[in-house]
């Protein structure tokens, strides 16, 4: 979902296929009472030299390249929207134009607020993201669930790219990390791994597999 948060930075990725080596990382820390924090990071540092060169241009193939000032203004707008979202607090962000790393984080009062966070971003970027991904948590049964439905529009857009440009995304990854105060008993995502200390689950998938719908972010994590 953080491609929407960093919409302007990802234009850089889409405009130049050779810059398509990047990572999107979503980290959720969930407390036993259902409150917690979330942080999203877009890391283009593997392609920072190419990204820096691209930033000096005005347009590529009809796409306008946003300036550093425009990216900062867009991020400031997102921060203000989240600060006014019920149940969301402590909104912070970083923009590193030396290494091309951007991050945004906040605390959420409960999982309903976490879903409101997603809905706020979806509304701002005029997407239907919140209809494809959301979260639930049952404190009684200690079950944390992420529902996820593939968006067929993603496949259509990805298929518009030439084969060589699609292949350039093979080194682009989306990683979800869920951390808990309780120990994890089990999780059911085929790409998921439970940490050695049993208090975290990581799901790492390639961007092309997400775009094509061959991998899924849905997961049910049962805590002890």
Enter the pTM of the model: 0.87
Asked whether 174 and 210 are in contact (CB, 8 A), the reply is yes
C-alpha span between 181 and 124 (Å, rounded): 33
Question: What are the residue ranges spanned by the domains of the chain?
Answer: 2-223
- The pLDDT score that the predictor gives to residue 21 is 75
Asked whether 144 and 137 are in contact (CB, 8 A), the reply is yes
Report pLDDT digits (tens) over 107-147.
999 999 999 988 887 787 776 655 678 999 999 999 999 99
Please list, residue by residue across 170-189, b when 16 or more beta carbons sit within 10 angstroms of its beta carbon and e when fewer do: eebbbebbbbbeeebeebeb
- The pLDDT score that the predictor gives to residue 8 is 41
Phi-psi region of 152 (alpha: psi -120 to 50; beta: other; left: phi over 0): alpha
Report pLDDT digits (tens) over 40-68.
998 888 878 877 777 777 766 556 777 88
C-alpha span between 1 and 130 (Å, rounded): 9
Asked whether 37 and 106 are in contact (CB, 8 A), the reply is yes
- The pLDDT score that the predictor gives to residue 202 is 98
- The pLDDT score that the predictor gives to residue 3 is 40
């Amino acid at each position: 979902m953080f491609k929407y948060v960093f919409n302007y930075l990802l234009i850089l990725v889409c405009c130049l296929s050779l810059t398509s080596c990047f990572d999107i990382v979503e980290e959720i820390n969930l407390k036993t009472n259902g409150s917690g924090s979330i942080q999203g990071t877009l890391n283009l540092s593997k392609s920072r030299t190419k990204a820096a060169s691209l930033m000096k241009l005005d347009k590529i193939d009809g796409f306008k390249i946003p300036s550093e000032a425009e990216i900062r203004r867009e991020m400031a707008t997102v921060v203000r929207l989240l600060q006014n979202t019920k149940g969301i607090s402590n909104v912070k962000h970083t923009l590193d134009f030396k290494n091309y790393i951007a991050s945004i984080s906040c605390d959420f009062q409960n999982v309903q607020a976490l879903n409101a966070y997603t809905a706020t971003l979806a509304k701002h970027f005029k997407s239907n993201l919140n209809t494809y991904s959301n979260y639930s948590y049952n404190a009684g049964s200690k079950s944390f669930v992420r529902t996820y439905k593939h968006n067929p529009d993603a496949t259509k857009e990805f298929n518009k790219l030439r084969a060589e440009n699609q292949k350039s995304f093979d080194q682009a990854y989306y990683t979800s990390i869920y951390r808990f105060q309780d120990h994890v008993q089990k999780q059911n995502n085929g790409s998921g791994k439970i940490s050695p200390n049993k208090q975290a689950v990581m799901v790492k998938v390639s961007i092309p597999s997400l775009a094509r719908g061959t991998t899924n972010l849905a997961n049910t994590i049962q805590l002890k």
